[in-house]
Amino acid sequence: MEGTLLEPTLYMVKGIAILDNDGNRILAKYYDKNVFPTAKEQRAFEKNLFNKTHRANAEIIMLDGLTCVYRSNVDLFFYVMGSSHENELILMSVLNCLYDSVSQILRKNVEKRAVLDSLDIVMLAMDEICDGGIIIDADSNSVVSRVALRNDDIPLGEQTVAQVIQSAKEQLKWSLLK
């Protein structure tokens, strides 16, 4: 057998991460438990990835057998990781969708403080883009419209105690169902 062709799969994304300008994790999701089974391995990979990319002007890097596309803005770095044989253009479309969705959600104020303040909505957007490594949507406008439907857009400080408790119950329920 001269060369084995890898069959295309729906599982195209191995992980998505948003790091700050010190390389610390703001938000990360890894979909392939075989690649980084523990949080310690994930953090070590993120540190290595950040050290290789934070001064570079490129958009793509091969690291630890993964194709990683990335983009930086102010004090944030956005990463999408796929296998070494993954199509870079598809990974780039996921990255662009993530960045554009976050940009629209935060009203073009894409920086660490704003992401942390709206972390729940950014997590929702990430889940709308990719589920279990399968790319669901790469159109930022449709992602934002679906996330906006779920978001009441009431700041936490203006919610009643009952609303906050109800929201916490729903989040707990969904985390237990996973």
Q: What is the pLDDT of residues 120-134, one digit of tens each?
A: 889 999 999 999 888
Is the residue at 160 inside a domain?
no
Instruction: Indicate the number of domains in the chain.
Output: 1
Contact assessment for residue 78 and residue 98, using Cβ atoms and an 8 Å cutoff: yes
Tell me the residue range of the domain where 98 lies. 15-153
Is the residue at 72 inside a domain?
yes
Span 7-13, average pLDDT: 70
The pLDDT of residue 67: 93
Q: How far apart are CA 12 and CA 86, in angstroms?
A: 7
Tokens read off for 175: 């985390």
Is the residue at 166 inside a domain?
no
* CATH number of the structural domain spanning residue 137: 3.30.450.60
Check whether 69 has a pLDDT greater than 90: yes
Residue 134: partners with Cβ closer than 8 Å, 6 or more residues away? 10, 11, 12, 13
